[in-house]
Structure formats: structure tokens, C-alpha cells
Amino acid sequence: MTEQSTTLAAPAHAERTGAPDEGAGTPPGPLAERAGALAALAAGHASRGEEERGLTEEVVAGIVAAGFARHFVPAAHGGAEGGFGELAEAVLRLGTGCTSAAWAASLSAYAGRYAAYLPEEGQAEVWAEGPDALLAGALVPSGTVTPVPGGWRLDGAWPYISGVRHAAWVLACATVPGGGDEEGPEVRFFAVPRAAHRVERTWNTTGMRATGSDTLVLDDVLVPAHRSFPRTRVLAGHAPASRARCHTVRMARVGALPFVTPLVGAARGALRAWTERAARGRAPSPGALGELTRAAGETDAAELLVLRAAAAADGTVSLPEPAAAVRGKRDTALAAELVVGAVQRLVRASGTSGQSPHDPVQRFWRDVQTGASHVALSPEAAGAAYGAWAMQEANR
């Protein structure tokens, strides 16, 4: 996909879209400013996206035009080699308009980061038409791999691939037979162009409907060696041709940032929608205002946790390993729990009017409930990792 020419005019409120509070973010960078403008467009297309179970072409073009696809692309291929904090702020802003759009923008950016671990010849193919190619990532191993001279053949299905309908390339994750070592079997990523895969429309959920997280299907697809890399490379931050921080940081420091940030943006959007509706009607009861206050505080706390985790990934917050990894996992899981509770409060304080299909609060509520169920945000896994580290530190 080549660079789009879509122009986004920033609305007067784009400086901060998280009303009623100013939130915890830093002054916006260019990507965040463009995301603030895109949020209004995404909000206007949210209902249609839910009906079609996928983002509209206009919103997809806006995501590309804003610069999400190129954010982590190596500079050698025209990309921005951007930071995690800047991306987090942009995804937060976009999430105030549409959670699904923010989810798609976030995951497409991170898929571009993964592609930076391909051999240089493979990177050249992926970004042959420029750094704005939309990518999708199948991060859970599936399908079958057959080694052949010069590469591999892939066959099978990979469910729940957000953005797969619009992706120019998909990174499919699979276990290689006979590979690996004492730590386990070898898992690799394989870059597959749009012409070589098909999509089955299987996405039918209560929330996050517009993400279009359908099933990727590969039918005996040949992937040459230069379009594959071992998962250990991205886990360790060993990019073959880049020394940018976004490509050399260990994956443990990045953790669940791609998944939790859109949900915090959604909570901000729910706060704004609830407050605007309440201001147009009868004065809310003291109890409703109390719920609003708690929800706003919980959302602020979640945003602070997410931005701190992003700063740790950027290296602007100094933490030794393994403290950074376990704290980041803890913080992102806790942020997800906080926004689930915050939006639940707003729905409870909305009364019957909040159940209307035309009220965006109920859409944000469904989105947050669904998004927070992602395995990357499991509080049990985060608690086990952090608890084990904390006990080990206490016994030193």
C-alpha cells in the first residue's frame, strides 16, 4: 500500500480529546496531533464499522495518512523509527473516538515493528512501495510448516487477526518441526503478501466489532527464507539492520502496550460521552457524580501506568531487568482492570438512557469488556510473574 493523500483537519478540541479531565499525557507530537483529528472521523464511522464487522475504508485510509503504519518502520525504508510513548499518546487520542480504530492503528504499528526483524532482503520486499504498507500480525503459533529447499511451505488457519482484511502483508507465526533446543521448539514468523493468503469472515463478537479480526488462511504457501525470522530475535531485540531503540529493546519491556492503550483511550471517550450527555439533560444525582469522579480517577491512573510503561520501553525511565519486564506486565494488566471498572461505573450511572444503541457509552463499555479479555492482559499471569520476582527480591 502506498502513501495515502488523505488530509485530516484538526478540530478545535484536538489538543486534548479526553474530557472532562486533562489526563496524564505529555504535549502531543505530530502523530498524536493527527490522531486527535482522526478520532472525530473514526467516531462518525463507528456505527457503520460495527454493522460491517470491520473498519470503513475511510478510517483505514486515515490511519495510514496519520502515520501509524510507518511509525516503527526502519529509517532505511522511509519509516519514522518512532518511540513507544509517542505512539501510546496517539493511540489514546484515537481511542476516544473509536476503540476498534485505535486497536487497528496500534496493532498495525507494532506489526511494522516486527517486520523490522526480517532479513534485509525481506524488509525490502515488504516495503517495496514505501513505509505505509499496512501489516497484520498472527502472533500465536498455528498452522503447519514444511521445510523445503530455500524456505518453507505453510498451510492452515490463524484466527483472530486484527486488520487482516486491509493488510498488504501478514506475519504468520508457526512452530517449525524438528527445530528448537532445550528451551523448546523453534517458533518463526513468516511474511506472506496479500496475494498469497485468503481471509475467512469469522469475527462476530459483542465488542470490538469493527476490528475485523477474522481468520487468515494459507493454502500450501511457499515462503522463501529471506521472508522469515525466529521469534527469539524479536524477543531479544536483535534487529538485523537497525540500532534504533524501538528495534533493540527486549520484547518483555514492550509487553501488552499494543493491547491496553486503545482501552484506556476508550475509557476517556466514555467519560467525554457521558459528561456531554449529562450536561444536556437533568442535573445528575450526587451518586452519579460520585461514579463519574471515581471513573475519571481510575482512567487517569490507568493512563499514568500505560505512559510509564511506554517510557520504560523508550528507556526514558531507568529500570534494571527483570524489574522492568515484570512491572510493565503488572502495570498494563492493572490498567486494563481499572478501565473496565471505570466504564462499568459510567454505564451504571447512565440509567436506562445509557443502554441505547445510539449512546456511545455502551459501545465503549462493550469494547473495553471484550478487549480486556485478551490473553496478554491476564491479571493472573501478570500477578504470577510479579509475585515471583517480588518474593525473590525479598529473599536476597
98, pLDDT greater than 70: yes
Query: C-alpha angle 304/307/309, rounded to 5°?
Result: 105
Instruction: Report the phi/psi class of residue 160: left, alpha or beta, with left for phi > 0 and alpha for psi in -120 to 50.
Output: left
Query: C-alpha angle 355/335/340, rounded to 5°?
Result: 15
Least confident range of 5-19, 81-95, 156-170, 197-211: 5-19
Least confident range of 126-135, 144-153, 180-189, 283-292: 180-189
Mean pLDDT of 234-251: 95
CA-based nearest residue to 162, from 10, 60, 37, 270: 60
Predicted confidence at residue 8, as pLDDT, reads: 34
Predicted confidence at residue 16, as pLDDT, reads: 37
The amino acid at 75: A
Predicted confidence at residue 27, as pLDDT, reads: 59
Predicted confidence at residue 119, as pLDDT, reads: 98
Class of domain 134-237: mainly beta
Predicted confidence at residue 180, as pLDDT, reads: 63
243, pLDDT greater than 80: yes
Mean pLDDT of 87-97: 98
CATH for 251-394 (3.10.180.10, 3.20.20.70, 3.40.50.410, 1.20.140.10): 1.20.140.10
**Neighbouring C-beta atoms of residue 159, cutoff 10 Å:** 16
Task: Write the pLDDT tens digit of every residue in 168-181.
Answer: 999 999 999 876 66
Instruction: Decide if 248 contacts 235 (C-beta within 8 A).
Output: no
116, pLDDT greater than 90: yes
Mean pLDDT for the chain overall: 90
Task: Write the pLDDT tens digit of every residue in 181-233.
Answer: 666 789 999 999 999 999 999 999 999 999 999 999 999 999 999 999 999 99
For the chain, the domains span 134-237, 251-394
Task: Write the pLDDT tens digit of every residue in 35-64.
Answer: 999 999 999 999 999 999 999 999 999 999
Instruction: Decide if 186 contacts 175 (C-beta within 8 A).
Output: yes
**Neighbouring C-beta atoms of residue 218, cutoff 10 Å:** 24
Taking only Cα atoms into account, the Rg of the chain, rounded to an integer number of angstroms, comes to 21
pLDDT band at residue 28 using 50, 70 and 90 as cut-offs? low
Q: Is residue 266 classed as helix, strand or coil in its secondary structure?
A: helix
Task: Write the pLDDT tens digit of every residue in 263-313.
Answer: 999 999 999 999 999 898 888 899 999 999 999 999 999 999 999 999 999
**Neighbouring C-beta atoms of residue 125, cutoff 10 Å:** 16
> Quick one: the chain helix, strand, coil %, rounded to 5?
55, 15, 30
Q: Are strands 169-181 and 135-138 parallel, antiparallel or unpaired?
A: parallel
